[in-house]
Structure 1
Amino acid sequence: MMDGMAREETRTMKSTSDRSPAVNDSRRAVVPTAPRTRAWATRLVVVGIVLSALNLRPAITSFGALLQEVRDGLGMSGSVAGLLTSVPPLCFAVFGVAAPRLARRFGPGAVVCAGMAAITAGLLIRPYVGAAGTAGFLFASALALMGIAVSNVLMPVIVKRWFPDRVGSMTGLYSMALALGTSAAAALTVPLTRALGGDWRSGLAVWAAPAAAAVLPWIPLVRDRGPAPAEQAPARAEPSPAVRITRSRTAWALAVFFGLQATAAYITMGWMAQIFRDAGVPAGTAGLLLAVTMVMGVPLAFVIPRVATRLSHQGPIVLALGVCGLAGYAGLYFAPAGGAWAWAVLLGVSNCAFPLALTLVGMRARTAAGVAQLSAFAQSTGYLISIPGPLLVGVLYQSSGGWGLPIALMTALMIPQMGVGVLAGRDRTVEDEAAR
């Protein structure tokens, strides 16, 4: 894939130089090296996108896999644990809104590089807070989640900026890597904890290593604030005006859709393993079931964006994913242990609403600037919407002593998710709606 992008970039630069006969000698001397430099940068961006995506969820799913051990170690109640599962969307909403401004000032590569460094530091510090207890654990988690938040918002921007004609395939690659990292953390955290002596602190801290590796590809791009190869434009091109994003109905529909799918995803990541454990499933198997749910996104996260970009209306995909979610919740209610593997698969398919939402962000705006605004608005507003969900699940579980009411809540939220998803899937752009 990367070689193909490099060859296409070389052809693009060559054709551009051929159309400029008035180039002087000094410029001709530079032309042969420019395609190679830009092709190298394109490859580096692809590697950076993949490694970054791999590290955008282990901070959450590793905690979910060891939720019971962390609760016992820090003396948490069910309500406090529910609060901790609500911290990710809160951080994503608060810090994600600043990402476009930071990217304009420092460049998107520098911001993502800093984000990966924050994830590394947070994951390394979080398990060893000592006397600080829950408060220290929460602070260190927030540091890691801050890095995830800005990277969440800027990934669709980087895709649109560097690969405007490959939004579907690159979003699929990014989403596939994200799902792989999510499922790997869910599946491997418990076995790694046992291999490292059974201490949950070591099992959580180990995920700082891949986060540190994700810093490296972005270091050469820290000072890159110029246009990407895909953004080369005529010298007199006018900058795109800012979009009044709040005037767009599609932007609001996409924000609500993003928020409701995030609610379902973070409830799943934070609580599904505990649901299975309470039904009598062993801890290791419960972690594997969560991993199955997450790993379903690996192939589907690559396929769904590519299919979505070929459709004029993405509503049918929204409805199909929603039906899988409803079936999975029904299974959790009636036979959580008996059909555990089937429910894990169905909920994994349903959670692929996330890569679909990212694809819609890239499709519902025409320019990279519009995508930046839409991404920040949809993700920040969406994550704000998703904050109460995991917390309510914890409160309902604590007060009722069972999973009936929490599962009923999850089922009820799936209906409006399907409705606003159909609205967000209509073929229109936020620029056109804001102008009207």
Structure 2
Amino acid sequence: MTSPTSTAHGRSARHGMAGLTVVALVLTAANLRPAVTSLGAILPEVRVGTGTSVAVAGLLTSLPPVCFGVAALLGARIGRRFGTAPTLLVAMLVTGTALALRATSGSGTAIVLWSSGALLAMGLGNALLPVVVKRWFPDRVGDATAWYTGALAGGTAAAAGLTVPVTDAGGSWRLGLAVWAIPALLAAVPWWWLRESRGPPPGEGEPVAPSFDSAIGQRVRRQPRSWALAGYFGTQSLTAYVVMGWLPSIYRDAGASPAVAGSLLAVLMLVGGPVSLLVPALAGRRVDQRPLVILLGIAAAIGFGGLLVAPAAAPWVWAVLIGVGMGAFPLALTLIGLRATTTDGTAALSSLGQGVGYLIAAGGPVLIGLLRDTTGSWQVPLLVILALLVPQLLCGLAAAKPGVVDEPPR
């Protein structure tokens, strides 16, 4: 017979572990993009300081989705083999170490090498955080996803906005890059304490089997809905990388000053913060997420349509609407947790959806840049982006329809 004291102690321990998991989740999410936006903010200075060629600089801009895609495809297998918490512990340690070493680089090759290491480790975080959500918060998938997508947006904006001031204050681009190693290493600390935890708190959710049931992964891969989710994730990621890479250029070519063009991108990213909190929370409270897919698609279509037809007429409105439309990213992450009933199913769906999705996105910025150079304007590239919203909508509607992908056939 269990005494009231032991029951209360067990409940307190479970709450403590859940709270520590929230801290780990938020800190890790905040460190999944600074390697990208910190380098982008001072890339001209890094190029001069290391003698990096234009070709290598172009490679650096294409690395994130490629590394994220490869890491996501391997993420479920690595997480099963070593455990989710130990894998995330190592991922954050590798991220911090690689970012610190990148700041000491003396060549473009070294920048690419250490950036790749950090991005691959961050990609494991991308793949495994939905598993953490499903494992520890199975009844609060939307809320928990909102916590970490909000932190991800905050970390992205912080690195974009603070890297230049840190560089100026320290008088060196190396300090501007190195400083982001510190929060990554700090994010490893809670995973150290959680590394022995192999399953959810006792009595909450399902225990994670020590060995992975490969039938679940095969079942997930055979479901058309899983591939629809991969398509939704991929098309929205492609659009997002195009926006981050080319939106200031689009506005500058429309007559905006460099300062205003940069401010418009900053506004778009700031809009992403509350959207990243709101969309997953709303999605988690609904059985059917298709209305959200439609609303986000409409916002993106109006925003990009405005850029195409009259970019200078209401530039701030277009930026805000595109920022709202990019809520498709946190929605896609939320769907990963909602479309699987088991932790293993979530891991398989996350690996497939993000792995294939990021690889779909990898060529987007390059293709759009080539179209711009070939046609001499942004008309055709923007038409292509608008056209891509159609498969994004169709894939999103299929993925957001009620149902799961990891239940055995009846």
For normalisation by structure 2, the TM-score amounts to 0.89
In the alignment, which residue of structure 1 is the partner of 2:115? 141
SS at match of 2:354: helix
Q: Is the aligned partner of 1:55 residue 2:67?
A: no
Identify which of 153, 160, 163 aligns with 2:127: 153
In the alignment, which residue of structure 2 is the partner of 1:413? 388
- After superposition, give the CA deviation of every residue in 1:43-74 in whole Å (9 maximum; x if it has no partner): 11001111111111122222333344445554
**In 2, Cα distance between the equivalents of 1:139 and 1:126?**
8
Amino acid of the structure 1 residue aligned with 2:184: A
C-alpha contact 1:83 1:390 (8 A) present in aligned 2: no
In the alignment, which residue of structure 2 is the partner of 1:349? 324
**In 1, Cα distance between the equivalents of 2:139 and 2:74?**
27
Alignment of 1:301-316 (within 5 A): 301-316=276-291
C-alpha contact 1:187 1:287 (8 A) present in aligned 2: no
- After superposition, give the CA deviation of every residue in 1:378-422 in whole Å (9 maximum; x if it has no partner): 111111111111221233344455444433332222221111111
Q: Is the aligned partner of 1:223 residue 2:223?
A: no
Q: Is the aligned partner of 1:385 residue 2:340?
A: no
Q: Is the aligned partner of 1:118 residue 2:94?
A: yes
SS at match of 1:242: helix
Distance 1:317 1:235, change over 3 A: closer
Runs of 4+ in 1 over 6 A off after TM superposition: none
- After superposition, give the CA deviation of every residue in 1:322-381 in whole Å (9 maximum; x if it has no partner): 222222223334554563322221121111101100111111111111111111111111
**In 2, Cα distance between the equivalents of 1:335 and 1:288?**
18
Distance 1:216 1:208, change over 3 A: same
**In 1, Cα distance between the equivalents of 2:311 and 2:182?**
35
Q: Is the aligned partner of 1:250 residue 2:225?
A: yes
Offset at 1:311?
Answer: 2.8
Distance 1:186 1:257, change over 3 A: same
C-alpha contact 2:93 2:185 (8 A) present in aligned 1: yes
C-alpha contact 2:206 2:342 (8 A) present in aligned 1: no
SS at match of 1:176: helix
Amino acid of the structure 2 residue aligned with 1:50: V
Q: RMSD of aligned C-alpha atoms?
A: 2.8
Unaligned runs of 5+ in 1: 1-20
In the alignment, which residue of structure 1 is the partner of 2:138? 164
**In 2, Cα distance between the equivalents of 1:201 and 1:150?**
26
SS at match of 1:97: helix
C-alpha contact 1:259 1:383 (8 A) present in aligned 2: yes
Amino acid of the structure 2 residue aligned with 1:406: P
C-alpha contact 1:260 1:382 (8 A) present in aligned 2: yes
Amino acid of the structure 1 residue aligned with 2:334: T
C-alpha contact 2:198 2:208 (8 A) present in aligned 1: no
Distance 1:210 1:308, change over 3 A: same
**In 1, Cα distance between the equivalents of 2:59 and 2:212?**
43
In the alignment, which residue of structure 2 is the partner of 1:294? 269
**In 2, Cα distance between the equivalents of 1:283 and 1:115?**
36
In the alignment, which residue of structure 1 is the partner of 2:166? 192
Q: Is the aligned partner of 1:83 residue 2:59?
A: yes
In the alignment, which residue of structure 2 is the partner of 1:327? 302
**In 1, Cα distance between the equivalents of 2:406 and 2:6?**
38
SS at match of 1:313: coil
Amino acid of the structure 2 residue aligned with 1:223: E
C-alpha contact 1:154 1:372 (8 A) present in aligned 2: yes
Alignment of 1:29-44 (within 5 A): 31-44=7-20
Pick which of 115-124 and 277-286 moved more: 277-286
Aligned length: 406
**In 2, Cα distance between the equivalents of 1:110 and 1:234?**
17
C-alpha contact 2:221 2:227 (8 A) present in aligned 1: yes
In the alignment, which residue of structure 2 is the partner of 1:212? 185
**In 1, Cα distance between the equivalents of 2:83 and 2:248?**
39
Distance 1:220 1:362, change over 3 A: same
C-alpha contact 1:61 1:186 (8 A) present in aligned 2: yes
Structure 1 or 2, whichever has the larger Rg, is 1
